[in-house]
Chain A
């Protein structure tokens, strides 16, 4: 069953078209990711889906509730964790949680089982003010507050931005547990490497969808073989690869460079000997599987 249905949503701010015809259907119980850079329209979309902003055109429903007409019911059914920390800094961890429970007419005890795995990290800091928590702890408290009324759909806008690698990993483990509870999770992130942690993702750029599919199928859709080329002289290497007559795309990729060829097949041995002739004595060339970032760039350009 579809849980979130977006039909041709558009929204502008003055001359800037923040969202330009977004249509996506998210299944119940799915962990769905919107992946894109700053300014892609992720936050605008989340604000529309949580009834905090009106679309200029198009429509959307969440669990059958229209985001405009049924906004009161909708707000009781969903949980929303905005990108900016939005809890009461001067209230303690426990007070924040109790406040959010009371606003939704429930109690912390009634739904404690749902948040137990998240809240266990916060137990030692129950009486600390929210403003005094570390970034990773604030994020876990915000998630607990968004869950305390047992929503059927959870919207998380860039929950892992600015959070260190360890907290990020823990956060995604918590999302897996919530998914097992049957909650539909819609998450946005600028980190391409988080795509593989979602059931399906939408790649979004400049208010438009580039593609929607499972991470594996998106990676497999990359049309060409990719060669990963390495040398200690990265800058010279990239220049030499771009100067190669058959080069189609050359991008720095961490310690290596990703190369695609303009011909239908690619010859690693031939490329390697070209680079040796150019004076790269330490060069290695190996074919690698495409990642989400490779596809994202190919779809952008």
Chain B
């Protein structure tokens, strides 16, 4: 793969024995993994497996109990504010203000991330053109189709040019064509060197990621490309990988 330069190999999320306890309960139990520049990681697990706690630590919202991690080169204990400034975040449930227009949303998020007026102006023009949404600039979000909102929310999360973007169930519930358009956008972003960290419990969505991590009871029980995991568990879909993992742990506990 000659097209990729050596900077592609740079690690932007590096996690070593990261642990978080709440009283007697260990929500995240010594997880370790690393994600490279431009890689798309699918971060999976059942409800209560520890996903949310892990992500809160990696986004600077929660201090770990022990272990080490750096995100975009910043330490999760000492540089939490710097982490927040250098990541993007998009949630399927809430990302844009419905009662604000498209441009007002862009201006708001640009302001939150400290972009200048001039930068916000030029970036919003560029963004609207790229998405073909110039005509909707002054329309309220509430009137836009779900697919447009999603693409817009994703682009807004990238406005401040973060090294990493966190996506929470990015394509749940959309029609299959819009879903592909959204993955095209994610692939393009990753090809431009942005690392994508996606959480989802749609197993078929996981198949689109370069690499997948599956958490069970606070630990990472499986990590690899979707194909490698399917081979490892000798099944044909990520759904079956997940079911195998969940069943094996419920039998052992």
A252 within 8 A of B: yes
A193 with B204: in contact, given A134-B47, A300-B177 (CB under 8 Å)? Answer: yes
Within 8 A of B (CB), among A30-49: 36-40
Kindly state whether residue A296 has any CB partner on chain B within 8 Å: yes
List residues of B (139-186) whose CB comes within 8 Å of A's CBs.
Answer: 145-146, 172-178, 180, 183-184
Q: Are A301 and B47 in contact (CB under 8 A)?
A: no
Tell yes or no: A243 within 8 A of B by CB: no
Known contacts A39-B146, A134-B47, A235-B190; A251 and B239 CB within 8 A of each other:
no
With contacts A164-B201, A165-B243, A205-B175 known, is A279 near B2, CB below 8 A? yes
Nearest chain A CB to B29's CB is how many angstroms away?
19
Whether A254 lies near B176 (C-beta < 8 A) is no
B2 touches A166 (CB 8 A): no
Residue of B nearest to A164 (CB): B46
A252 and B243 contact, CB distance less than 8 A: no
The reply to whether the CB of B242 lies closer than 8 angstroms to some CB of chain A is: yes
Closest to B207 in A: A254
Contact A38 B174 (CB under 8 A): yes
**Interface pair A300/B243, CB less than 8 Å apart:** no
**Contacting pair A235 B208 (CB below 8 A):** no
The prevalent SS among residues of B at the interface is: helix
Chain A interface, number of residues (Cβ within 8 angstroms):
35
Closest to A206 in B: B175
Q: Which of A235, A254, A279 contacts B191 (CB 8 A)?
A: A235
Closest residue on chain A to residue B227 by CB atoms: A255
A38 contact set on B, CB distance < 8 A: 146, 173-174
Take A233-B3, A254-B208, A255-B227 as given contacts and tell me if A37 and B175 are in contact as well, using a CB distance cutoff of 8 Å: yes
| Contact call A190/B46, Cβ cutoff below 8 A | no
- CA separation between A38 and B177, bound complex, in Å? 13
Q: Looking at the complex, which one of A40, A161, A162, A251 makes contact with B180 (CB distance below 8 Å)? A: A251
Residues from chain A with Cβ under 8 Å of B47 in the complex: 134-135, 164
Q: Per-position contact with A for B217-233: 1 when CB-CB < 8 Å, else 0?
A: 00000000111000000
Closest Cβ of chain A to B20, distance in Å, is: 21
- Among A252, A293, A300, A301, the residue within 8 A (CB) of B208 is A252
Cβ < 8 Å to B, chain A residues 151-196: 161-162, 164-166, 169, 190-193
Task: Please indicate the chain B residues that have their CB under 8 angstroms from the CB of A40 in the complex.
Answer: 175
A236, A296, A297: the one contacting B3 at CB < 8 Å is A236
Contact in complex: B173, A255 (CB < 8 Å): no
Contacts of A165 in B (CB 8 A): 201, 203, 239, 242-243, 246
Q: Give chain A's interface residues, CB within 8 Å of chain B.
A: 36-40, 134-135, 161-162, 164-166, 169, 190-193, 205, 232-236, 238, 251-252, 254-255, 279, 281, 293, 296-297, 300-301
A-B contacts, 7 of them at CB < 8 A, read: A134-B47, A162-B201, A164-B47, A165-B243, A192-B176, A254-B226, A255-B226
| Interface residue ranges, B against A (CB under 8 Å) | 1-3, 46-48, 145-146, 172-178, 180, 183-184, 187-188, 190-191, 201-204, 207-208, 225-227, 239, 242-243, 246-247
A165-B203, A233-B1 given; name 4 further pairs at CB < 8 Å. A38-B173, A169-B239, A281-B1, A300-B175
